[in-house]
Structure 1
Amino acid sequence: ASAPEVSFDPATQLAVLPYSSGTTGRPKGVMLTHRNLVANVCQINPRMGIGADDKLLAVLPFFHIYGMTVLLNAALYNRASLVTMPKFDLVEFLSIVSGQRCTYVFIAPPVAVALAKHPLVDEYDLSSVHSIFSGAAPLDQELGKAVANRLGCRVRQGYGMSEMSPVSHAIPFDRDDIALDSVGPSIANMECKLVDPATGEEVAYPTDGVSEPGELWCKGPNIMAGYLGNDEATAETLDGDGYLHTGDIATVDSEGVVTIVDRMKELIKYKGYQVPPAELEALLLTHPQIADAAVIGVLDDEGEEVPKAFVVRQPGAELDEAAVIAFVAERVSPHKKVRKVEFIDLVPKSAAGKILRKDLRAAETAGR
């Protein structure tokens, strides 16, 4: 039998329905069209530098939009080889990279922590890797540099959301001059602006230096059609001009390079000051005795919100609360100090590597 004739509008026909990570609330079905997916592959292709000779390691799940677009679809588009893993396991990861001679590895920051700190890494030949690209959560500059130096490869990071198919920003593969704690410039065919959450006014683009922080708004052919069966959430996120309100606070410099500060909902309000948890987490990871860390806001005895660190010690480390508090206090402004510390075995994370702060908050509330 001959193939059926199929006709539809790629701009409106639903292609996939990934669910938002649910790191800050209930997961929502994100309606992405065929045009969304194709557009994003074309938008990111010049930034990634993937070639037909590359072997990409796919440790990220394809049901997550990062894995689907940046790995599966981008690899197929470029006729590159794709080496798959069912889940992340450090020994398997290192063995596959070494044995298959993978050249391009896409990760989330928790994998970067292992690559920078774990002693097992030195036992494998990872010389085939020329590029590591991190996404799904913020990558600290010092952590990225540690990975680059240890493996002798370039490290880049990007930014996106399920609602943007997912990429809106990425550091180009050939731009060593862009700071690794940024997410690079906007990708092609996107309009982005920063808006002051307090006033609703657009933040001025700087002629020199760095702008004031504001919520990042993005518009382009990769922006979702809306949330499935949730008109209210769609209206809260997509405005009448087509801009997606990301909920992330960012800055932009005079060269157009964007740096993500933190999620609006995640910012800790300490005595009127805003404290980004991601900044404290990145700092904690520079401590040689800390394997992993997460920070949330909790209430102290006076009802004031204060930063609390959940810390995973390195094996054999002798680290107490006072030492962690002192380490942070020596390196940050007074309002950003960690006020409480709890040692845990594992930081809860999503399949894509995002810290599930809502789980930590729920456990904190239950333990009161």
Structure 2
Amino acid sequence: NRATPPRRSSSASSSSSSIRCSKRSARMRTGLVSTLSLLNTPRSGVARMQSELVQLTRETTTGRFADVGLELGARTGTSARLHIDTAALAAIADMNGLAATRLSETRAALDHVAAGADAFLEQLILGRDAAAWPQAQTDSALQSLIGDANATGSGGYLFGGINSAVEPLADFDAGPKAAVDAAFLARFGVAADDPLAAEIDPADMADFLDNEFAALFADPEWAVWSSASDQPIRSRISPTETIDASVSANQTAVRKLAMVYAMTAGLGVGGLGAETRQVVADKAIGLLGEANSDLTSLRAGVDVAQGRIADATERVMLQKSILENRIATIEGVDPAEAKTKLDMLSVQIEMSYSLTVRLMRLSILNYV
């Protein structure tokens, strides 16, 4: 009799069948997950590469790190201080440009004032002994001085000092004329345009010009003429240097010129006696000489200030260039390396797009 082989239990057979089914099911799921991963992997990488592309493009364009703080770490404070110092030097250079422009305009106005004084001096010399007094020329010279003193530029009145928002000199008829007429009347008992003024003694006129009339152009009476400030505009031309960057209408030269023009235009000189008129003319000629000397000093001071600004600006720009080079050393990127990375990343992005398109075109229908 043959031996009958033992039968497998039903539980063992069921377990073996379950294992085979599980393996087949696992293989089927693995295939589905693998296809999805191939499709999503290029998509997930594109966003990261696009972000890197933006940073590399910025670095290639600017020549510095896209995120300076991230790249420098603890050295970020040094970089920030260098930027602050550079900005301060740039601001000084800009202010120097404004100060230089203001002084250039001031110099031109002073030149015009000096030219007018020279021309008027010639007229006075000719009119001293002439039968007719050059009243029209004296009136014009007075108005010309007021116009030059009220010249504007660089956003304000050039001769106003720190009070550059207000006209420095008042119009003669707006106040100064009344003060001159009052002083004349108080001294001689007649108005300047009264025919009796022809009888004024030359010595009395000389004393009046040296005292009561001269006092009108000294403080505090000068306030009737001028609204300018004695304090000039100060300008910082370097981290350690400041200068006067304006000229005030309260300078002695301007006061003497105002005295000359007011004297010859507002005292009715044409109606005075010949000798008295010569006293006025001689006084005016002497004051014009003094005023011209003072104007020369003022113009020389402006020239010196312009030279100091030019020298200071050159030093400031040199310091700024040194700081900018230090910043470039700390924050700068290698242009060639950045360009190479940018090109490689662009190729990777193009390949990723191409792969994504090809995967999206895959369809089982193409193989049925």
Fold match by TM threshold 0.5 = no
TM-score, normalised by the number of residues in structure 2: 0.21
> Relative CO higher for 1 or 2, CA cutoff 8 Å, sep ≥ 6?
2
TM-score, normalised by the number of residues in structure 1: 0.21
Q: Which has the higher strand share?
A: 1
